[in-house]
Structure 1
Amino acid sequence: MRKRFTEDEITQLSQSPYVKYIRANRISFTFEFRTMLWERWQAHPSITTIKKALYEYDLDPCMIGSPAIHSLQEKFKVNGRPRGGKNKAYGEIRKSSLSHQGTTEILLSTGKFIKSGWGITFHPDLVNEIRQYYPDKSIEDSLRDNGIDPAMVGYQRIYQLKRKLAGSTFSYSRSHYEGEWIAHLKDHPYVKRANSHQLSLKDCFYQDAQCFNTLPIDEILQIFKIDPNRMPMQWKSAVKSRINRWSGHEQLPICDAKSPLMIEINHQRIQKLTEMIDECFARVKGSIKDMSPSLRKILCQWIRTLPHDRHDYSLRKVLDKVGISKSSYYAILSDPDYDRIHCRDEQDIRLIQQVLDSEPGYPMGSRMVYMKMRQITGQQFGRKKIMRLMRKYDLLCPVRKASASRKAARRLLEHSRKPNILKRQFRLQRPLHVFLSDVTYLKYGLNQTAYLSTVKDATTGRILACVVSEDNDLRLVEDTIDQLIDKVHEGHLLFHTDQGVLYLNEYIQDKLKKSGFTQSMSRRGNCWDNAPQESFFGHFKDECDYSWCTTVEEIRSEAEDYVEYYNDRRPQWDRNKMTPMAFEKYLTEMDDDAFERYVSKEREKYDKMMARSKEKALRRAQELGAIREEI
C-alpha cells in the first residue's frame, strides 16, 4: 500500500528541485535525478544505496516511504536505466541531457551509424549485414556481435529496422500460402481458416496464448507448433498485438483435445509454463533480501493460497524456490506485528543517526552510540539492537574493524596447520631421517634484504640444502625441497618447520607429501621446538661477514662457502667434537647394538631436558600467580 502524504510533507517535498510532482498518494522524481539514483544503485544494488543517496540530497527516506523506494528499485531491476520523461529543470540540465548526447556520440564513434536529419540511423553496411542473417538471427544479437548495446540503440530504431527487414524478407504473393504447408495448417487444431490468401487463428488460440504474452511471438508460435519462419512479419505482429489485447472473454471450449498434435502442444505449454514459473520464483529469490517485512508477509500469504497438491510445488519446494525457510514462513504468518518492524526500524535509525551526527568528523561504534544515546536523544536502545540497525543501514564504524587479511590468515592456519610430531626429539633417529627447515632474512648493501632457506639434519647437524633469494616466496621453499630430495633416501622421513605461511601453503604441503615426507610443525610462537635450525642461523650471522656484499650473488656465494665450512671443517662440542660430516659417518658405521646404546644416552639427555623445561614452566606459572605454590 502506497503511503499517503500529509499537507506539510507535500509542501516540504515539492520545494526540492529533484521532485517532479507530488500528490497525496504519489511522488515522482525528475528524470535526471532518477538517472543519478540508477547509476548509484547499479554500482551497489540495494535499498540502502538508494536511501543513502536520498539523504545526501536532503530527501528524508522515512518521509518518502518504503513503498516508493522499493518501487524505484523494482523499476531499476525490470527496466534498467531510466529513459525519457518530461521533467522540470535539474540545475542546468534539461531533457536534451548530456547523457543523451553522449549516447549519440558513442554510437557514431562505432562507425555503424550515420547522421540522418536531427538524429542518427543505421549505416547501410550494417543493415545489409543484419539482413543477411535475419530472421534466423535477431537484430539485438547482431548488434551485440558488433559490440553495440541494444539498450543504447533504443527500441524505436530497432522496431523501425524490423519493419524495414520484414518488407524485404517475406513474399506477400498468393503463392506464400500454398501446397503442403496449407494442407498442414488446415489440420492444425488452432487454425480457423487457411487458404492461398488468408490465414486466421481461432479465438481459443488467443485464450491459450495469453499467458505467454511476455514471450516473443516466434517462441509463442513454436509452442503451438506453427513455424514462425514461414509467417510474414506483419502477420506475426498482428497476432502478437491481439494476444496482448486479449481481455479474457468467457471460457471457450477446448480445441480437439484428443488429437496427437494437441497432446504434443499441451505438453509443450505445460513445460514452458513450468519454466516461466521457475524463472519468476528465481527473481523473487534474488530480491527477497531487499523486500520490506510487509512485502514478505504478503508473499507468504500468497504462498499459503497456492495449491500444493503437486510434488514439484509442495510447500517445502516452493519455499526453497523463493529462499524462505519453513520456520520463517510460519513465524511471519503467525506474527501480526511482523510488517510493523520495518517502520519501527526506520524511526529508530533516525535516533541513532542523531547520535552519530552529534560529533561530526569523529566515527562512532555501537558502544559509543550506546553510551551517548540517552544523553542526546533521551531514549535508550540495547547494544545488540544498535548493532543490528547500524549493520542493516550500513552505518558500521570503519575504525578497528576486523581485518579481512587477518581472518584469511587465521582460516589458512586452522585448515593447514600440522601437529608437532617431533616434540624436540632431535637426536633419537638415524641420520637423514629427521630434517629441520626455516627461512631467515639477511640485510646487506644499502638497506637491501635477501632471504636464506636451509634444511638441517636434526641428528648430525649437517646442512643438506641452502638457497638464497631476493624474494620470500614459494619458489624459495620449492628450490630448497628440490635440493633436499636429491640427497635423501626413501623411508620414514620427517620434515619439521615452524608455522610460517610458506609451509602452510597447499602446494608446498602436496609436494612434501608426494616426495615421501611427513610434515611436522612447531607450536605457535615457540622457537625452541626448532632450536637446532635457529642455532645455525645464529652462528651464520655471527661468524660469516657478509657486510661487504652488494648483490644477491655475493650473498649466495658467502652462504655456500660458510655451509661448506660448517659441514666439513667446524667441529661441534656436543657431537663428540666432530664436524657434522664426520659425525654422520660415525653414526652410519655403527652396528645396531652400538646405535641402541647411543640412542639410550640421548634419551636420558632428552628426559632431563624435558624435566628441566617442566620445572621452569611451573616456576614461571607460580611467579605469574597462575598456580599456587605447594606448602
Structure 2
Amino acid sequence: MRYRFLKEHRGESGPIRKAREILGVSKSGYHESLRRRKSNAQIEREALEQFVKDEFERHKGRYGYRRIGRGLRRAGIHAGEKRILNVMRKLGLQAKGTTRKHRRAKAVEKGDPRVNLINRAFDVDSRNELWVGDITYIPTDEGWLYLAAVIDAWHRKVVGWSMSSRITEKLAIDALDQAVGRENPPNDYSLVFHDDQGSQHASRAFQRCLESHGIAQSMSRPGNPWDNAIAESFFKTLKRELIRERPYRTREDAKREVFKYIELYNNTQRMHSSLGYRAPCDLGRGVA
C-alpha cells in the first residue's frame, strides 16, 4: 500500500526521499516497486473501475449499480452487482436519489363521484391500451414552467407532452393531441386515459377532447398518488435526474433541456426497472 501511494503521488509533495523517510520505505525497495509489473487481477480491477466510472458519467450520475451493471453487460463486460456496488463506493460514486415519503390516502366518503377504471392495474399487454397523464412544474428565474405529459403504461414511453407558462386545460389538451397524432390509437374507447382529477383534466374542454378521439377517462381518488403511480414516478425521476441539477435562467432554457431528456434520453436510452431494465424503444424491438 505504501509503495502504491508513493507511485501515485510522487512529485506532488516535494522530494521523493523525504516521502520515503516519512513512510519508512527504503530506496532499493521503492525502485524495485517501480519496475514491478502489475498483476492480472490488478489490471482487471483498474479496468473495471474505469468502465464503471465511464458508464456513471455517461448517464450523468443517474444510474445506480444495478443499471450500470446491466449497461456494462450489454457492452460485453460482466461483473456482479455486489462488485460494481463496491467499486462505486470506492470511487465515491453515488446515484442521484431522494428519501421516500409516504402519505396516507384520503378516506373515501359515501356519494363521492370518483371514477377509477384502473384500480392500480397498470400492467397491460400492448401499446395504446392505457395512457396516464399528469402536470408538474419546473422552476426558472422567469417563473414556473408547467409540463403536461402523457405516458403509455405498456412501455413507459412519453407519447405526448406540452409545456407552457400557464397551467390551463389547453396544456393538457395539447399533450393529449400530440399523443394521438403520434400513436394514432383506435377511436373506439378501447384506450383508457387515467389522470389524478386535476382541474385541467377534469375540465369539460378536456373531456370533449377525449370524446372526440374515442378515449375513455379514468380518475384517481383525491389525495391518493398511488392511483396514478406511473405518472408520479416519471415526474419524480425527471426532477431528481434533471431539474435539481441546476437552476434555469429562462423558460426556454428549461424547455430545451426537458425536450432532450424526454425524447433523446428517457424514451430511447434510459433503462426502466419495470421493463426488465430496458428502454421504452427497446420493447418494440424486442431487445433483451
CA distance in structure 1 between the aligned counterparts of 2:114 and 2:285, rounded to whole angstroms: 32
Is the 8 Å Cα contact of residues 468 and 552 (structure 1) preserved in structure 2? no
CA distance in structure 1 between the aligned counterparts of 2:246 and 2:171, rounded to whole angstroms: 22
CA distance in structure 1 between the aligned counterparts of 2:181 and 2:228, rounded to whole angstroms: 23
Q: How does 1:141-160 map to 2 (within 5 A)?
A: none
Alignment of 1:569 onto 2:269: yes
Q: How does 1:155-304 map to 2 (within 5 A)?
A: none
Cα deviations by residue, 1:138-190 (Å, 9 ceiling, x for unpaired): xxxxxxxxxxxxxxxxxxxxxxxxxxxxxxxxxxxxxxxxxxxxxxxxxxxxx
Alignment of 1:579 onto 2:288: no
CA distance in structure 2 between the aligned counterparts of 1:585 and 1:435, rounded to whole angstroms: 20
How far has the Cα of 1:418 moved from its partner? 5.2
CA distance in structure 2 between the aligned counterparts of 1:569 and 1:529, rounded to whole angstroms: 27
Bigger CA radius of gyration: 1
1:15 aligned residue: none
Is the 8 Å Cα contact of residues 466 and 560 (structure 1) preserved in structure 2? no
Cα deviations by residue, 1:221-269 (Å, 9 ceiling, x for unpaired): xxxxxxxxxxxxxxxxxxxxxxxxxxxxxxxxxxxxxxxxxxxxxxxxx
Pairwise CA RMSD = 2.0
Alignment of 1:553 onto 2:252: yes
Pairing partner for 2:218 from 514, 520, 526: 520
CA distance in structure 2 between the aligned counterparts of 1:574 and 1:508, rounded to whole angstroms: 30
Q: How does 1:112-511 map to 2 (within 5 A)?
A: 419-445=115-141, 448-488=143-183, 489-490=185-186, 491=188, 492-511=190-209
How far has the Cα of 1:573 moved from its partner? 2.3
Pick closer, same or farther for the CA change 1:422–1:429 going to 2, 3 Å: farther
CA distance in structure 2 between the aligned counterparts of 1:503 and 1:469, rounded to whole angstroms: 16
Counterpart secondary structure, 2:267? helix
How far has the Cα of 1:485 moved from its partner? 1.0
CA distance in structure 2 between the aligned counterparts of 1:511 and 1:573, rounded to whole angstroms: 33
Alignment of 1:541 onto 2:239: yes
Counterpart secondary structure, 1:450? strand
Pick closer, same or farther for the CA change 1:484–1:418 going to 2, 3 Å: farther
Q: Which residue identity is paired with 1:561?
A: K
Is the 8 Å Cα contact of residues 161 and 179 (structure 2) preserved in structure 1? no
Is the 8 Å Cα contact of residues 497 and 521 (structure 1) preserved in structure 2? yes
4+ runs deviating over 6 angstroms: none
Q: Which residue identity is paired with 1:501?
A: S
Across the two proteins, how many residue pairs are aligned to each other? 172
Pick closer, same or farther for the CA change 1:574–1:503 going to 2, 3 Å: closer
Is the 8 Å Cα contact of residues 444 and 547 (structure 1) preserved in structure 2? no
CA distance in structure 1 between the aligned counterparts of 2:247 and 2:204, rounded to whole angstroms: 38
Q: Which residue identity is paired with 1:524?
A: P
Counterpart secondary structure, 1:487? helix
How far has the Cα of 1:548 moved from its partner? 3.8
CA distance in structure 1 between the aligned counterparts of 2:162 and 2:250, rounded to whole angstroms: 15
1:115 aligned residue: none
Counterpart secondary structure, 2:135? strand
Counterpart secondary structure, 1:464? strand
Provide the TM-score with structure 2 as the length reference: 0.56
CA distance in structure 1 between the aligned counterparts of 2:285 and 2:221, rounded to whole angstroms: 32
Q: Which residue identity is paired with 2:193?
A: F
Is the 8 Å Cα contact of residues 452 and 468 (structure 1) preserved in structure 2? yes
CA distance in structure 2 between the aligned counterparts of 1:484 and 1:437, rounded to whole angstroms: 11
Provide the TM-score with structure 1 as the length reference: 0.26
Is the 8 Å Cα contact of residues 155 and 283 (structure 2) preserved in structure 1? yes
Higher relative CO (Cα under 8 Å, sequence separation at least 6) belongs to: 2
Is the 8 Å Cα contact of residues 149 and 158 (structure 2) preserved in structure 1? yes
Cα deviations by residue, 1:358-394 (Å, 9 ceiling, x for unpaired): xxxxxxxxxxxxxxxxxxxxxxxxxxxxxxxxxxxxx
CA distance in structure 2 between the aligned counterparts of 1:450 and 1:463, rounded to whole angstroms: 18
Q: Which residue identity is paired with 1:453?
A: A
Is the 8 Å Cα contact of residues 495 and 520 (structure 1) preserved in structure 2? yes
Q: Which residue identity is paired with 1:571?
A: M
Q: Which residue identity is paired with 2:196?
A: D
CA distance in structure 2 between the aligned counterparts of 1:451 and 1:534, rounded to whole angstroms: 15
Is the 8 Å Cα contact of residues 427 and 458 (structure 1) preserved in structure 2? yes
Is the 8 Å Cα contact of residues 139 and 247 (structure 2) preserved in structure 1? no
More helix by share: 1
Counterpart secondary structure, 1:568? coil
How far has the Cα of 1:571 moved from its partner? 1.0
Is the 8 Å Cα contact of residues 571 and 578 (structure 1) preserved in structure 2? yes
* Identical positions, percent: 30
Is the 8 Å Cα contact of residues 161 and 174 (structure 2) preserved in structure 1? no
How far has the Cα of 1:431 moved from its partner? 1.4
Pick closer, same or farther for the CA change 1:526–1:577 going to 2, 3 Å: same
Counterpart secondary structure, 1:550? coil
Counterpart secondary structure, 2:127? coil
Q: Which residue identity is paired with 1:449?
A: W
2:11 aligned residue: none
